Structures are given as C-alpha cells and as structure tokens.
C-alpha cells in the first residue's frame, strides 16, 4: 500500500525509513516506534502529520525553532508523536467522544497513548494551510480499516487558535459521512460557510475494524471565497 507523496519527496513511510537510516549514525537516541499502519488527515494536514511531513527528513535542524516553533516544541516534547503520525487514536470510546476527551485536550485525543501527543494541544501559531471555504478533508486510511463514520467540525468564527485552547463548545459539526468501505484515501466535502481567517478543522474518524476512534486537528486559514 502506498501513501500520499507530499511535495514530491516520496511517501511518508519511505521517508521515515530513509530518515531512520540516515540519522542512526548521528543521534544517540534513534527515533523509536515509527508509525504502524493506521491513518491520519493529510489534507489539510493533522498537526503531527504536518510536522512529520515538513521536518521528518531533518528533524534535528536548528532552524525549525524559528521557522516552525510549534512543531519544534512538539519534536522536543516527544518525537514519537511525529514518527507515529498515524497512531493518534483511542479505543473503547463507544461513540461518546465528548465524555472521553476533556476540553483543552481535543488535539491529543485526551492525552492518548500515555500522553505521547500532548504537545498537539499546545496553543500557538501552528503552521496553517490556506483553503477556500468549499474544500475537502482527505483522510488517509493506510491500513484499510474503513469507517463507521467520519465527522468534520470547524471552530466558530471568533475563536482564535493562536491564543485559546480548543474545547467542544468551540466547534460546529459541518460534515458527516456514514459507513465507508476501506479505501486508501477518503475525501469529505466541507462547506465552511462565511468563516474567514484562522480556524481548526477537527476530524473524527470512527474506524470499522474495532471500536477505534481517530482525532485530527488541522490548522487552516479560510479565504472567505
């Protein structure tokens, strides 16, 4: 199974293998736990996927601290959150996502996996991609889990992700897709209405193979068009 090829640098899985091979000789603690086969939102990119995509091939580059400070703090907190870019999920939620994940911890899925993804909750100026108000969320299902459903939420106009922690009341459900057969990539059409400026796209993917729920925070700037 092949993965998306962002900006022509090869698939994430292949780039992860290349990074590990190239850095083994220069780091005393080689990155552990490269992503197993699950999935993530790749467009707009989930926070940890975006950090992996931009910096996985040069994760020790000092310029990351000034060029991409939110990714820098995430790599410093736990590099495995990026190597395991497709493992941000919880099990046994039973569909009650709000009860399982506290406000302020939505981007880490309630500090899932022992807190591995906690840095995704950090408030600040995450790199954001520009989107017109009608766009699609692409969920890459690397393991062909399929879905019971996908739900896409957007932050309400006036919410500022650079200064405010994300809570459930900050979100509005804008798109939902029901049972979906396994497919490498699923496109979910979204209408952002009259939103403009910075927002968070929050995607929930309820996988079909188990009671396994995936949660993705993607940072965007809406053009208003």
User: pLDDT of 188-201, one tens digit each?
Assistant: 999 999 999 999 99
From the list 151, 204, 146, the residue with the least C-alpha distance to 177 is 151
Q: Is 185 helix (H, G, I), strand (E, B) or coil?
A: strand
Cα angle for residues 205, 185, 41 (degrees, 5° grid): 50
42, pLDDT greater than 50? yes
56 inside domain? yes
The predicted pLDDT at position 142 comes to 85
> What is the pLDDT confidence band of residue 102, given thresholds at 50, 70 and 90?
very high
Q: Is the peptide bond before 197 cis (omega within 30 degrees of 0)?
A: no
1 inside domain? no
- How many domains does the chain contain in total? 1
Render 118-151 in DSSP notation, one character per residue.
GGGG--S----EEE-SEEEEEEEETT---EEEEE
14, pLDDT greater than 80? no
188 inside domain? yes
177 inside domain? yes
* 225 vs 214: CA distance, rounded Å: 29
* 200 vs 25: CA distance, rounded Å: 38
42: tokens are 């790749």
Range of the structural domain that residue 193 is part of? 6-28+37-222
Q: Are 117 and 109 in contact (CB under 8 A)?
A: yes
Q: Are 190 and 135 in contact (CB under 8 A)?
A: yes
The predicted pLDDT at position 93 comes to 94
Q: Are 156 and 99 in contact (CB under 8 A)?
A: no
121: tokens are 């909750």
12 inside domain? yes
**This prediction's pTM:** 0.84
Q: How many CB atoms lie within 10 A of CB 188?
A: 22
CATH of the domain at 126: 2.70.50.50
79 inside domain? yes
> What is the pLDDT confidence band of residue 6, given thresholds at 50, 70 and 90?
very low
Q: Are 40 and 214 in contact (CB under 8 A)?
A: yes
Length of the chain: 225
Please list, in sequence order, all residues whose beta carbon lies within 8 angstroms of the beta carbon of residue 150, skipping any fewer than 6 positions away: 137, 139, 175, 176, 177, 180, 186, 188, 203, 204, 205, 206
Look over the chain and give the mean of its residue pLDDT values, rounded to a whole number. 87
Cα angle for residues 174, 53, 144 (degrees, 5° grid): 60
The predicted pLDDT at position 37 comes to 59
User: pLDDT of 54-70, one tens digit each?
Assistant: 999 999 999 999 999 99
218: tokens are 């993607």
């Amino acid at each position: 199974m092949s993965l998306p090829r962002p900006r022509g640098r090869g698939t994430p899985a292949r780039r992860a293998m290349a990074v590990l091979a190239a850095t083994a000789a220069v780091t005393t603690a080689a990155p552990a736990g490269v992503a197993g086969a699950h999935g993530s939102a790749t467009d707009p990119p989930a926070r940890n996927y975006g950090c992996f995509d931009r910096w996985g091939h040069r994760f020790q580059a000092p310029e990351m601290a000034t060029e991409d400070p939110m990714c820098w703090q995430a790599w410093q907190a736990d590099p495995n959150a990026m190597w395991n870019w497709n493992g941000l999920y919880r099990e046994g939620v039973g569909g009650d996502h709000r009860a399982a994940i506290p406000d302020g911890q939505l981007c880490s899925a309630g500090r899932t996996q022992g807190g591995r993804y906690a840095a995704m909750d950090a408030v600040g100026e995450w790199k954001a991609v520009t989107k017109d108000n009608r766009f699609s969320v692409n969920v890459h299902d690397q393991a062909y889990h399929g879905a019971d459903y996908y739900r896409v939420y957007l932050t309400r106009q006036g919410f500022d992700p650079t200064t405010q922690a994300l809570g459930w009341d900050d979100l509005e459900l804008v798109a939902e897709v029901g049972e979906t057969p396994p497919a490498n990539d699923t496109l979910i059409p979204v209408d952002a209405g009259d939103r403009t400026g910075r927002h968070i796209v929050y995607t929930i993917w309820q996988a079909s193979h188990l009671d396994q729920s995936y949660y993705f925070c993607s940072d965007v700037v809406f053009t208003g068009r």
